[in-house]
């Protein structure tokens, strides 16, 4: 990738595709995501134990189990990505990214006007009012998430 670095597109054993990047300028510093930034990455899988084993080996991650259907991959004591157990077609085995927004509800009309669809509204369980799940016209899933950090975290 000219000017960006070297990249490789891989598939994990379940078929989820992921681009690995060795950035020419190095990795960005760890900081709290601002509004409009990518806030989270999650892989949805129907075989969460196998997925966790693959990614912990691939990236030297540690895994923290959070309930029956979720794990968090960590490095350097920071959360890096989630593994969500999903057994329903057609959503299993894929990476789903999240963007930090002020208010996910305000964006939903625009999603539909641009040809996307709303799959989960923030007021529908299990969202608790802070997350919407949308699909773009090409079928990519995206979470819109309101997330607050305390003042010291926000300044970083």
Q: Which tokens hold the place of 105?
A: 């509800």
Q: What is the mean pLDDT of the chain?
A: 89
CATH number of the domain encompassing residue 60: 3.10.180.10
Q: Is residue 62 part of a domain?
A: yes
Q: Is residue 10 part of a domain?
A: no
The verdict on whether omega for the bond into residue 61 sits within 30 degrees of 0, i.e. cis, is: no
pLDDT, tens digit (0-9, with 9 covering 90-100), for 141-152: 999 999 887 654
The answer to whether 91 and 142 are in contact (CB under 8 A) is: no
Q: Is residue 1 part of a domain?
A: no
pLDDT surpassing 50 at residue 106: yes
pLDDT, tens digit (0-9, with 9 covering 90-100), for 13-35: 999 999 988 998 888 888 889 99
Range of the domain at 139: 33-155
Q: Is residue 98 part of a domain?
A: yes
Q: Report how many domains make up the chain.
A: 1
- Partners of 99 in the beta sheet? 38, 144
Q: Is residue 78 part of a domain?
A: yes
- Segments in 60-141 forming alpha helices (H): 104-113
Q: Is residue 75 part of a domain?
A: yes
Strand, helix or coil for residue 43: strand
As to burial, measured by CB atoms within 10 angstroms (0-12 exposed, 13-18 middle, 19+ buried), residue 150 is exposed
Q: Is residue 84 part of a domain?
A: yes
pLDDT, tens digit (0-9, with 9 covering 90-100), for 58-100: 888 999 999 889 999 999 889 999 999 998 877 778 999 999 9
């Amino acid at each position: 990738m000219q000017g960006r670095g070297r990249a490789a597109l891989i598939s994990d054993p379940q078929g989820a595709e992921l681009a690995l990047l060795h950035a020419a300028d190095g990795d960005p510093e760890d900081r709290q995501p601002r509004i409009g930034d990518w806030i989270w990455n999650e892989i949805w899988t129907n075989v969460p134990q196998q997925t966790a084993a693959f990614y912990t080996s691939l990236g030297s991650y540690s895994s923290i189990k959070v309930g029956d259907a979720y794990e968090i991959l960590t490095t350097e004591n920071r959360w890096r990505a989630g593994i969500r157990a999903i057994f329903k077609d057609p959503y299993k085995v894929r990476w789903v990214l999240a963007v930090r927004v002020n208010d996910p509800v305000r964006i939903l009309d625009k999603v539909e006007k641009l040809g996307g669809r709303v799959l989960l509204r923030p007021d529908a369980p299990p969202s608790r009012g802070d997350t919407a799940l949308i699909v773009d016209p090409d079928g990519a899933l995206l979470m819109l998430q309101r997330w607050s950090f305390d003042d010291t975290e926000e300044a970083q």
